[in-house]
């Protein structure tokens, strides 16, 4: 069975890129464009891994991670933070919110897939 990845990013470019890379590696991809959209897509699909951007309008990545972690049976899903933020404080905040791991943009497709494989069941 193919593994579904939920990718949340407000940038169309990034969403297309994530979709391209992940699909190329044989994953099913569900896309969302901000945290709120991400929660809706999470409720409607069965992703095994979540990738999320941090800086997003409407609901940012921190809020999104907290909402997922505080949610129902899907609260233990691995969440990878995908962001260009390089400073340690952001990473720390993401982790405190419940992030499983992080990938620093610009991502190398192989690194992205490697990181997803690392946390997927």
The site for another protein (CB under 8 A) is made up of 10-14, 16-17, 19-20, 34-37, 39-40, 55-59, 63, 66-67, 69-73, 75-79, 84, 86, 95, 98-108, 110-111, 114-115, 118-121
Which residues, other chains included, contact 45 with Cβ-Cβ below 8 Å and sequence gap of 6+?
4, 6, 30
In whole angstroms, what is the distance from residue 118 CA to residue 31 CA? 20
Cα dihedral 81, 13, 117, 29 sign:
positive
Least distance (Å) from another protein to the CB of residue 21?
10
> Least distance to another protein from the beta carbon of 64, Å?
8
CB of 35 to another protein, least distance (A): 6
**Smallest gap, in angstroms, from Cβ of residue 4 to another protein?**
15
């Amino acid at each position: 069975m193919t593994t579904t990845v939920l990718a949340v990013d407000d940038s169309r470019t990034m969403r297309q890129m994530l979709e391209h890379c992940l699909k190329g590696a044989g994953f099913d991809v569900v896309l969302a464009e901000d945290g709120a959209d991400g929660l809706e897509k999470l409720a409607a699909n069965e992703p095994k891994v979540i990738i999320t951007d941090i800086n997003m309008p409407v609901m940012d990545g921190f809020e999104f991670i907290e909402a997922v972690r505080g949610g129902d049976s899907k609260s233990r899903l691995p969440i990878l933070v995908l962001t260009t933020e390089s400073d340690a404080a952001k990473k720390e905040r993401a982790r405190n919110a419940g992030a499983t791991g992080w990938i620093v943009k610009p991502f190398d497709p192989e690194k992205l897939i490697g990181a997803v494989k690392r946390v997927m069941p």
